[in-house]
Homo-oligomer: A and B are copies of this chain.
Amino acid sequence: MYYDLIRDAEALKEQLIKTRREFHRHAELGWTEMWTSCLIARRLNDMGFDQVLTGRSVCKSQARMGLPSKEELNAAYQRAQSEGADPDFLSDMKDGFTGVIGILNCGEGPTVALRFDIDALPIQETYDPNHLPNQEGFRSIHNGIMHACGHDGHITTGLGTAELLVKYRSQLHGTVKLIFQPSEEGVRGAKSIVENGHLDGVDYVLAAHIGGTPDTKISAIGTGTGLSLATVKMDVAYTGKASHAALSPHLGKNAMLAAATAVLNLYAIPRHGEGDTRINVGKLTAGSARNIVCDHAKLELEVRGSTSESNDYMEAYAQRILEHSGAMHDCSCEITLMGAARCGTNSAKLTALVADICRHKLGLSQVTLEDGAAGSEDYSYMSEHVQKHGGQSCYFSNITHCAGSFHNEHFDFNEDALINGVKAFTGIVLYLLENTTKPSF
């Protein structure tokens, strides 16, 4: 069975590369992946998926974080339309309801969910002639937006996996959910999918990220503890009152002082004794002119924690600081939640199984990743939900040679990773749903 899979996956190579490049050309930011979602939905539909969810069925409206403005959403809609987004699906996506879920019902058995993230980054892609997308003509056609984190590869892997699973559906016993999640950048989208109930009853959930550097020589599946940091992203707006700085400073309400007090105290939140924490105020703009008391300030910040407790501690403390720093200077304070993730961790058994399948059944190179988490992933909302209800999760790395570094204008990856990803995901699902008595590990 795995021999067929290996052969079938390799046969998809040309098609996968073509698909990936199409997505790369149409890079779209979080909550505006409309052209992208339409194409995914079209393909899943055409393959014969039992259910293809789009629009409001995918993400719970109120749980979406860091939504662009109405104007930006409308502009994205116009753009998708003008670029020929499939009219059967496009209207569903109005107002930022992107993302697609494909479901394959294969009778009795466990439910396996696979998550693929689909959004791009606000990065201007390089014009460097050595950059493959320039050589091969698939540079992003959207100015200032680029798939610089490999999500174009993730989508493509998901569609390749979809195709093979449809092909092998008679061998599957259970349910498969392919979740094409919007807005992973800024950890904004996963929560709204979980809150719509899509992870309820899921026994196994998996996701992968392309990994590698310009020095990476191997192509391999990497597995490890899957630790990721919990995080909360906030935008904060202080509103005070302007006044002439020489004539009547006492009539102002000084948002500059509120912001400076907040910044210093935020970094000064005492360390947590039982979890590593982070705080960063990455951006601050305040005031209008030298001789006017500053009447507005805007901060963009994030907290993180290596445990959910330490992250919650940071969030609650930060909120207290933000509010009282404003109130102290008689300024109002508006805090907007812009993104969030939970602590992620792999289930040991499923992770061992993934390593085993990749190495022994699929003939893929397999490496063990070192401990230690530094980044955050909103996939953690999915894994936490599944694990809390007795299920298992594994987040693994699809390692290959990469050009540039992640989130860099030169980023690119070896397209062999597409095949490896399809092999791994399809192989794991096959194993888990081969028959209902398994897995006996």
Contact A268 B271 (CB under 8 A): no
Q: Mark A230-257, 1 if CB is under 8 A from B, else 0.
A: 0101000000000011111111101011
Is A280 an interface residue when CB atoms closer than 8 A count as contact? yes
Q: Mostly helix, strand, loop or mixed at chain A's interface?
A: mixed
A423 sits at the interface (CB 8 A): no
Could you tell me if B252 and A281 are in contact, using CB atoms closer than 8 angstroms? Answer: no
- The winner among A252, A261, A268, A310 for most chain B CB atoms within 10 A is A268
Q: Encode contact with B along A280-323: 1 for CB under 8 Å, 0 otherwise.
A: 11111111111111100100111010000010010000001100
Q: Once the chains bind, are A245 and B327 in contact (CB under 8 Å)? A: no
Q: Using Cβ atoms and an 8 Å threshold, which residues of chain B touch A265?
A: 257, 261, 264, 268, 328-329
CB contact between A264 and one of B245, B249, B260, B313 (< 8 Å): that residue: B260
Shortest distance from the beta carbon of A167 to any chain B beta carbon, whole Å = 40
Which residue in chain B gives the minimum CB-CB distance to A268? Answer: B267
Bound Cα distance from A435 to B77, whole angstroms: 80
Residues of B within 8 A of A231 (CB): 246
B245 and A302 contact, CB distance less than 8 A? yes
Contact indicator B320/A278 (Cβ below 8 Å): no
Copies in the complex: 4
Q: How far is the CA of A272 from the CA of B243 in the complex (A)?
A: 12
Which chain B residue lies CB-closest to A321?
A: B328
> A249, B273: Cβ atoms under 8 Å?
yes
Residue A277 interfacial (CB < 8 Å): yes
Given A233-B290, A282-B292, A374-B246, do A320 and B313 touch, yes or no (CB 8 Å)? Answer: no
> Is B282 within 8 A of A289, CB to CB?
yes
Which single member of B246, B288, B313, B328 contacts A278 (CB below 8 Å)? B246
Q: A165-207, CB under 8 A of B: which get 1 and which 0?
A: 0000000000000000000001000000000000000000000
Does A325 have its Cβ within 8 Å of any Cβ on chain B?
A: yes
Judge if A270 is at the interface, Cβ distance under 8 Å.
yes
- State whether A273 touches B251 (Cβ < 8 A): yes
Instruction: Report whether A257 and B267 are in contact in the complex, using a CB–CB cutoff of 8 Å.
Output: yes
In the docked arrangement, what's the CA distance between A270 and B245, Å? 9
